[in-house]
Each structure stands twice: as structure tokens, then as C-alpha cells.
């Protein structure tokens, strides 16, 4: 898994936030969560782009055999869109420009709302 990161919600505390892989390389983003058998409740990925963009932060669900809660976050660290992405659906785009795409277990849908401010931190031992 890529380097771990925690995405904290600054508007409402999450008792046990997910520890997700920080994916800023082309290969990590390309692989994403494809071909995995399942996703644990406390794991996921944060796909990182160099700039805000709708196109660059779009995702597909081909070869992902489970649904995901997907949150798009802009460079101002604000959640700008969210969706439950269905397995094998061709494409999802945020409604507005984003720089980060957070993919986590669908049971974590309520962890973030549009307009919430977030913060990224490296987990401490």
C-alpha cells in the first residue's frame, strides 16, 4: 500500500478515521483499488493530482468488485462533492474542480459532507 495518511474532518470529529494510501504517483493512481477482493472499513486511497480539475479527478470502477464512498476535495481542503460509486460503472466526475479523490468503504459515507474542511496527517505510531 502507498504511504499511509489520515484524512481528518475539521467540522465534525470522526471517532476512528480511515487510514488511506496516499497515491501521488501515476502507477499508484492507475492501479487504484482494481483487482482487490474487498476493502476493509478502515482503509482506502487518497488520489492526489497536481491541480484542481474535474477531468483529472474523475474515476472509473472497472475491475473494482465493490462499491465505494468517494469524496472530492479541492486545494482549499474543502469537500466539494461526494457519491457512492457503484462497482463496474464506467465513470464518475466531481460536480466542481477538485485536487484530491478520497475512496473509502461505503459504510463511511457519513464521515464527510460537502462543505466540510479536512486535514491530512501522517499516522503516529
Biggest alpha carbon–alpha carbon distance for the chain = 38
Cα–Cα distance, 125 to 108 (Å, whole number): 23
**Closest to 103 measured CA to CA, from 28, 53, 50:** 28
- Write down all domains in the chain, each with its CATH number in brackets: 4-112+116-120 (2.60.120.1140)
- pLDDT band at residue 115 using 50, 70 and 90 as cut-offs: very high
Chain Cα centroid distance, residue 47: 6
DSSP 95: S
pTM beyond 0.75: the answer is yes
Query: What sign does the dihedral 38-16-86-81 (CA atoms) show?
Result: negative
d(CA 40, CA 86): 17
Structure confidence at residue 1 (pLDDT): 63
pLDDT for res 35: 63
13 Cβ contact list (under 8 Å, min separation 6): none
pLDDT in tens, 91-110: 999 999 999 999 999 999 99
Return d(Cα 17, Cα 62) in angstroms, integer.
Answer: 26
pLDDT (0 to 100) of residue 82: 98
pLDDT of residue 8: 96
Mean pLDDT across 40-52: 93
**DSSP bridge pairs for 24:** none
- Reported as a pLDDT band with limits 50, 70 and 90, residue 38 is confident
125 pLDDT band (50/70/90 cuts)?
A: low
Amino acid at each position: 500500500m502507498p504511504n499511509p495518511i489520515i484524512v481528518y474532518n475539521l467540522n465534525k470529529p470522526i471517532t476512528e478515521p480511515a487510514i488511506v494510501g496516499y497515491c501521488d504517483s501515476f502507477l499508484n493512481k492507475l492501479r487504484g483499488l482494481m483487482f482487490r477482493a474487498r476493502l476493509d472499513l478502515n482503509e482506502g486511497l487518497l488520489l492526489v493530482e497536481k491541480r484542481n480539475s474535474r477531468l483529472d479527478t474523475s474515476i472509473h470502477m472497472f475491475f473494482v468488485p465493490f462499491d465505494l464512498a468517494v469524496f472530492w476535495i479541492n486545494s482549499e481542503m474543502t469537500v466539494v462533492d461526494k457519491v457512492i460509486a457503484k462497482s463496474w460503472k464506467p465513470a464518475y466526475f466531481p460536480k466542481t474542480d477538485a485536487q484530491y479523490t478520497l475512496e473509502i468503504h461505503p459504510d463511511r459515507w457519513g464521515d464527510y459532507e460537502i462543505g466540510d474542511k479536512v486535514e491530512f496527517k501522517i499516522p503516529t505510531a
